[in-house]
Amino acid sequence: MVSAACSKSDDYLNSATPEDVVTQSTLADTSKTDTSGTPVVPVPVIPGAVTLRNNVPFPVGAAVNINLLQNDTAYRALVSREFSSITAESKMKISALHPSENVYKWENADYLVDFALSQHMRVHGHTLIWGSSLPTWIKEFKGDSVAWENLFRDYIHTVVSHFKGRVASWDVVNEPFKDDGTLKSTLWSQKLGSDYIARAFIYAHEADPNAVLFLNDYGHEYGNNKRRGIISYVKGLVARGIPIHGIGMQMHARYNLDDNSFVKAITEVGATGLKVHISELDIALNPSSNKSLVLTPELLDLQAAKYKLVFKTYNSLPKSQQFGITTWNVTDGDSWIPDNYNRPDWPLLFDAHYNKKPAYAAVLEAVK
């Protein structure tokens, strides 16, 4: 049965392709449970549907909220129907996985991974090492440099080993750069020295040699300094033989940033020859935080044009570098932007009622 999420737009219903039929039959397995024994409910996939996962020629992902995935049937159906890759919005961050010194909590992340694999989706791990989302026990940890290195290495080894073979890729280090293109000072850099980044990649690679490893950061499209600092730093890691395979461009962007900034950023990052993951895409319509802004058709069209530009530009990168595009959240109703910036906003491809916005059609058009 098609969920209510789909009822308003039936434009994606057309004839089935053999690939869709295979997908549907493989999704019909109702016997799966996640590793904690909770049933992972299979989701109906519509044969022949024109969806992002069927029609975009590279993986399209979303950052997913585990509570909605477990409790909201329409959300789960939409995620499964449209996306071929999943990132956990928060349940694979260190504060969620390792909330106190002797405790690891895997249940939520395992649920998400089991769900994704049952739907034949890829899982992208987010994120191993980040200056934010640190649990109190790490902020207050007392130890010499050996103790800190052990904590750091053990955490990466434990997490990457736990998900080995199930999580395809990791944001090994998240947001290590300042806007001027130099490294931020974080708890990790203070305790471990600035070369902690290289060692994080080495430890992740030791734990899962098949995992695709990324350095993830925001703001590549906002200015040359940060992006060029990141590119040159990553090239230095590659030259040293550090196992880094790609650059994650978060791309929390705004509708009124000029086209050239997007094109230049994607093209320059692509010129490294490494894999490129647009890892947290959203295109805000209210960047100046106007509390009473009203959404208009004009704004939706401007947003659609930017989404189209991003997908089109990305699609022109060499295939082997196209790791995929992931949106940060699924619908305007679960986007992190309104809460985080305390303003109305509508940054995603689906509205809060699970309907496709003009940007959705623009994305499909971009990759035709």
Helix residue spans in 98-223 (DSSP H): 107-118, 136-139, 145-162, 187-192, 196-207
Catalytic residue (one of 82, 89, 221, 280): 280
Compare residues 275 and 312 and give the one whose CB is closer to ligand XIL. Answer: 275
In the bound state with ligand XIL, the residue whose beta carbon lies nearer, of 93 and 306, is 93
* Near ligand XIL by CB under 6 A: residue from 23, 119, 174, 186: 174
Q: Judged by CB under 6 A, does residue 221 bind ligand XIL?
A: no
Residue 280 Cβ vs ligand XIL, minimum distance, rounded to whole Å: 6
In the complex with ligand XIL, the residue whose CB is nearer, 127 or 321, is 127
Contact 82, 67 (CB under 8 A): no
| 250 sits near ligand XIL (criterion: CB under 6 A) | yes
Say if strands 122-130 and 85-88 run parallel, antiparallel, or are unpaired: parallel
Distances (CA, A) of 109 to 39, 178, 209, 220: 15, 30, 21, 29
Whether residue 175 lies in the annotated active site: yes
Decide if residue 208 touches ligand XIL (CB under 6 A).
no
Determine, following the binding rule CB under 6 A, whether residue 336 of this chain makes contact with ligand XIL.
Answer: yes
Of 182, 206, 199, which is closest to residue 148 (Cα–Cα)? 199
82 catalytic per annotation: no
Nearer to ligand XIL, 20 or 171 (CB): 171
C-beta closer to ligand XIL: residue 336 or 350: 336
CB proximity list for 22: less than 8 A, separation 6 or greater: none
Q: Which of 82, 89, 175, 221 is catalytic?
A: 175
In terms of C-beta distances under 8 Å and separation of at least 24 residues, what long-range contacts does 40-43 make, across chains too? 40/111, 40/114, 40/115, 40/118, 41/76, 42/118, 42/119, 43/76, 43/77, 43/79, 43/80, 43/81, 43/119
Of 72, 110, 280, 332, which lies in the binding site for ligand XIL, with binding defined by CB under 6 A? 280
**One character per residue 119-158, x = contact with ligand XIL (rule: CB under 6 A):** ----------------------------------------
Q: What angle do CA 17, 21, 23 make, to 5 degrees?
A: 115
By CB under 6 A, name the binding residues for ligand XIL. Answer: 89-90, 174, 250, 280, 336
Catalytic positions: 175, 280
